[in-house]
Amino acid sequence: MTPADDFAALPPFEIRRSADQRVPFVFNSPHSGRCYPDRFLSMARLDRNTIRRSEDCFVDELFGAAVPLGAPLLVANFPRAYIDVNREPWELDPRMFAEPVPSFANIRSARVAGGLGTVPRLVGEGLDIYSGRLPLAEAIGRIEAVYKPYHEALKRLVTATHQRFGFAVLVDCHSMPASIRVGDNGVRPDFIVGDRFGASASAALTEHAINLLIGMGYTVAHNKPYAGGFITEHYGRPARGLHALQVEVNRGLYMNERTFQKSSGFDALADDLTRFVADLMAIPDCHFTELPLAAE
């Protein structure tokens, strides 16, 4: 069997949408996948629970209100430990593979050095996924069978939204460990909103998102320590009317990180995020059309 067979019974990702897209927003949950193929698990040295340490559990459910409110939601079924679509397509660690990686691979990125490349080496707090080297064909197969189709689907959603409405907003949805602290005082943020330090979205959109969450009583950080990954960087082109925000939710608000079970706070947070999504999508169009849109 090969990576092409890993998701024969369940597609590697799905697009959830209502009959008609009514808003210029696209939501994306690339790390909430929880289908771990048996072939992949047989390669791993970790048990079924430990390997989930990097999973953005239930994020697709937390932001699920986007769909009935008129926005499509792209959801991964494949796990982040299997392949990470929030990376460049060829961020590969040569130490992971039995054969040399392609000459065009990015082997020197900070993410590769940290064990979190396109095919991750680690999960959670520095836990090795594999006990030995993988065939290079394994990485190539996952990129061809899952990574590239995922980004083709995301690009189609963003492009169609831009063409229909004249601009598009991509909201990239993630979660973060409860242990994350920011600032000199070590404050635990409930949310982190990332816009690549202003490069991926209009300042008005970012400010609106942050203020909505603060208005609900949450502690919100901006860009630190998460400013947005490859998806935010790649799809965010504000001068062309393409805006991308990354929203990180603290897992301590809604789940037990040890058992991977929802906590008593899940429903209240989901209700707040329903209101957040609705209010975010109600932002006036003028906040996205301050700059002339370049021709496609």
Domains of the chain and any CATH numbers: 3-287 (3.40.630.40)
Neighbours of 21 (CB within 10 A): 17
19-51, pLDDT tens digit by residue? 999 999 999 999 999 999 999 999 999 999 999
Q: For residues 190 and 253, is the Cβ–Cβ distance under 8 A?
A: yes
pTM: 0.95
- Strand 13-16 and strand 25-29: the pairing is unpaired
Residue reference for tokens 């370049």: 294
- Tell me the average pLDDT of the chain: 95
User: Where residue 284 falls among pLDDT bands split at 50, 70, 90?
Assistant: confident
Burial level of 100, CB count in 10 A (0-12/13-18/19+)?
exposed
User: Where residue 178 falls among pLDDT bands split at 50, 70, 90?
Assistant: very high
128-139, pLDDT tens digit by residue? 999 999 999 999
| Per-residue burial over 271-284, b = 16 or more CB atoms within 10 Å of its CB, e = otherwise | ebbbebbebbbebe
User: Where residue 286 falls among pLDDT bands split at 50, 70, 90?
Assistant: low
- Separation of alpha carbons 28 and 154, rounded Å: 8
- Separation of alpha carbons 253 and 255, rounded Å: 6
pLDDT at 291 over 60: no
